[in-house]
Amino acid sequence: MNASGPCVILNEPQLAENIGAVARVMANFGLSDLRLVRPRDGWPQDRAWASASGADWPLDGARVFETLRGATADLRLVMATTARPREAMLEVVTPREAASRVAEAHAQAWPTGLLFGGERAGLETADIALCHAIVTIPVDPRFHSLNLAQAVAITAYEWRLTRAAGPPPRFTAGPPPADQATVHGFYDQLEAELEAAGFFHPPEKRASMVRNLRVAFGRAGLSEQEVRTLRGVVTALAKGRGRVLAKLAAARLKNPPD
Amino acid sequence: MNASGPCVILNEPQLAENIGAVARVMANFGLSDLRLVRPRDGWPQDRAWASASGADWPLDGARVFETLRGATADLRLVMATTARPREAMLEVVTPREAASRVAEAHAQAWPTGLLFGGERAGLETADIALCHAIVTIPVDPRFHSLNLAQAVAITAYEWRLTRAAGPPPRFTAGPPPADQATVHGFYDQLEAELEAAGFFHPPEKRASMVRNLRVAFGRAGLSEQEVRTLRGVVTALAKGRGRVLAKLAAARLKNPPD
């Protein structure tokens, strides 16, 4: 269970709803080994499952421990997440640096854990002393009260990013851009219609007006389908409306309004 | 309020508790401008304040909008966070890349927004078409149901990291993108003219045709000057060519070719 990621250790958690919310974010980021040290209201608690939105497996497999020492006995690297390192007794690292160290440890098959304190008290100095580093999430000092599940989410999110080989996954949008001949054909059509409509005045500004239009369309990286659509737009605007107006004009000539 | 960070836009949020939880993580990461589009249970809701754990100011200052267009009118960059980009109609970026782009925009004093869908339905394709990129949080595909406040937390956390790192080194060239109200005004004009020209047929395809056009123009990140030029283009094509054809038709009626 623990092989593919750090376990999450909650020290004296209070609200079962928060334990459920932690299970949900663990599932979101691919973690499953949940350990509870002296949960205030005992264990199991139905309200934890109710608030996990279906992420039952970290709850089903959760183990309860009487002491933090017991909960971390098999681990080789334990990072303590706390907003308020009262004493700089251990190195303080960012969630990103913590994730990187956890990933390095896992590359060597070392079991690791992320430790979080209870909602009210956080972690005691004695708890932190059992860990290897302190992780501090860079919250605004004017409002540093971070929800327990949020703290787990950010730490787990950073860990998940280390799983991706190389840079995090990046998707390019949809279809590839059309070849330039296709795009230029659209420019030809657009500019010819604008010429016919008397758009380019004064004539000496034609070159810069054409250039500005091409730059705007060029930045969009139009696909072939989009070029076809825009050609249809130009045709519709130039011809369709023209037909409507021509009909109107013809009707007026037949039946002059005066 | 908006000067120092992106606003957070919740589109059709359902639970007041989630709105409160969002306010709390906004405060954690130094954000304060909260915008609500059609909150299901109305606004204000006491339960939001109750679940914000003292982070009252984003709730006190929250503004309610009838439409997503209204909520984004003053913004120059809008990133849509969604777990399921059904169609890759826009570029999909990581929260980290999104934060970097938002930070770049703020370095140039462009107002920006992070858009999140409602708890049940997420974001519709038409909502996404009003944005500039899609942000996808790299969750485990086996359990991708991320709590709304968690999604805001991770995006806001990444934004805050860019603050700590100092101003981003990159600046984009050229004029800033127009605000969204300006861009939407162009869409209104274009779509009205296309309607008049009979472009939208069959009528049931109108919505997707409109969406595809908006996405193509949205990707270009049009400047104010470019929007003015394109409005001139539409007017010229619709009216100018119409006048030419009307004159021709009138001339033919006076002097029939046969």
Closest CA to B42 of B64, B61, B72, B58: B64
Nearest CB neighbour to B24, from listed A147, A233, A253: A147
Res A1: pLDDT? 38
Nearest CB neighbour to B154, from listed A153, A172, A233: A153
Which uninterrupted H or E stretch holds B156? Answer: helix B148-164
Which uninterrupted H or E stretch holds A16? Answer: helix A16-28
Please indicate whether, in this complex, the C-beta atoms of A240 and B198 are within 8 angstroms of each other. Answer: yes
A243: distance to nearest CA of chain B, Å? 7
The pLDDT tens digits of the residues spanning A131-160 come to 888 899 999 988 988 999 999 999 999 999
From residue B209, alpha-carbon distances to A222, A232, B212 in Å are 15, 11, 5
From residue B94, alpha-carbon distances to A219, B158, B225 in Å are 21, 10, 31
A258: distance to nearest CA of chain B, Å? 17
Q: Which pTM value belongs to this model?
A: 0.80
The pLDDT tens digits of the residues spanning A69-115 come to 899 988 888 999 987 666 556 788 999 999 999 998 888 888 899 99
Q: Tokens in use for B171?
A: 């600046």
Q: Tokens in use for A157?
A: 């999110």
Nearest CB neighbour to A143, from listed B27, B136, B232: B27
Q: Is the peptide bond before B177 cis (omega within 30 degrees of 0)?
A: no
Res B1: pLDDT? 38
> Strand, coil or helix: what is A223?
strand
Please indicate whether, in this complex, the C-beta atoms of B89 and A174 are within 8 angstroms of each other. Answer: yes
Identity of the amino acid at A153:
A
Non-local CB neighbours of B200 within 8 Å, separated by 6+ positions? B194, B206, B209, B210
> Is the predicted pLDDT of residue A257 greater than 70, yes or no?
no
Please indicate whether, in this complex, the C-beta atoms of A249 and B244 are within 8 angstroms of each other. Answer: no
What confidence tier does A255 reach under pLDDT thresholds 50, 70, 90?
Answer: low
A237 to chain B: closest CA residue: B238
A226 to chain B: closest CA residue: B216
Nearest CB neighbour to B240, from listed A170, A199, A239: A199
B191 to chain A: closest CA residue: A233
Residues in chain A: 258
Please indicate whether, in this complex, the C-beta atoms of B30 and A173 are within 8 angstroms of each other. Answer: no
A132 in Cβ contact with A97 (< 8 Å): no
- Dihedral pair phi/psi, residue A92, rounded to 5°: -105, 125
B145 to chain A: closest CA residue: A28
Please indicate whether, in this complex, the C-beta atoms of A212 and B225 are within 8 angstroms of each other. Answer: yes
Own/partner long-range contacts of A137-141 (Cβ < 8 Å, ≥24 apart): A137/A81, A137/A83, A137/A95, A137/B157, A138/A94, A138/B157, A138/B160, A138/B161, A138/B164, A139/A83, A139/B28, A139/B29, A139/B160, A140/B27, A140/B28, A140/B29, A140/B30, A140/B160
The pLDDT tens digits of the residues spanning B89-140 come to 788 899 999 999 999 998 888 899 999 998 887 888 888 888 888 999 999 9
3-state secondary structure A152-199: HHHHHHHHHHHHCCCCCCCECCCCCECCHHHHHHHHHHHHHHHHHCCC
Res B30: pLDDT? 94
What confidence tier does B218 reach under pLDDT thresholds 50, 70, 90?
Answer: confident
Q: Tokens in use for B55?
A: 């982070």
Res A110: pLDDT? 83
- Dihedral pair phi/psi, residue B9, rounded to 5°: -110, 120
Please indicate whether, in this complex, the C-beta atoms of A233 and B250 are within 8 angstroms of each other. Answer: no
Question: When comparing pLDDT for A86 and A30, which is higher?
Answer: A30
- Which sign, positive or negative, has the C-alpha torsion B182, B187, B192, B197? positive
Please indicate whether, in this complex, the C-beta atoms of A249 and B246 are within 8 angstroms of each other. Answer: yes
B79: distance to nearest CA of chain A, Å? 14
Burial of B123 (0-12, 13-18, 19+ CB in 10 A): buried
The pLDDT tens digits of the residues spanning A160-207 come to 999 874 443 444 446 777 887 888 899 999 999 999 888 988 888 898
Burial of A95 (0-12, 13-18, 19+ CB in 10 A): buried
Average pLDDT score over residue span B74-80 = 92
CA A243/CA B38 separation, integer angstroms: 42
Please indicate whether, in this complex, the C-beta atoms of A145 and B30 are within 8 angstroms of each other. Answer: no
Identify all chain A residues contacting B88, using CB atoms and an 8 Å cutoff.
Answer: 171-174
Burial of A112 (0-12, 13-18, 19+ CB in 10 A): buried
Nearest CB neighbour to B29, from listed A140, A153, A248: A140
Determine the Cα angle at A50 with ends A45 and A54, to 5°: 120
Res B228: pLDDT? 94
The pLDDT tens digits of the residues spanning B177-209 come to 888 899 999 999 999 999 988 899 888 999 989
B203: left (phi over 0), alpha (psi -120 to 50) or beta: alpha
A235: distance to nearest CA of chain B, Å? 9
What is the rounded (10 degree) CA torsion for A115, A118, A120, A125? -50
Please indicate whether, in this complex, the C-beta atoms of A213 and B196 are within 8 angstroms of each other. Answer: no
Residues in chain B: 258
Res A235: pLDDT? 92
> Is the predicted pLDDT of residue B241 greater than 70, yes or no?
no
Please indicate whether, in this complex, the C-beta atoms of B193 and A237 are within 8 angstroms of each other. Answer: yes
Closest CA to B162 of B95, B90, B72: B95
Nearest CB neighbour to A237, from listed B89, B197, B246: B197
- What percentage of chain A reaches a pLDDT higher than 90? 50
Average pLDDT score over residue span A226-254 = 76
Res B201: pLDDT? 84
A69: distance to nearest CA of chain B, Å? 30
Closest CA to A147 of A55, A13, A49, A40: A13
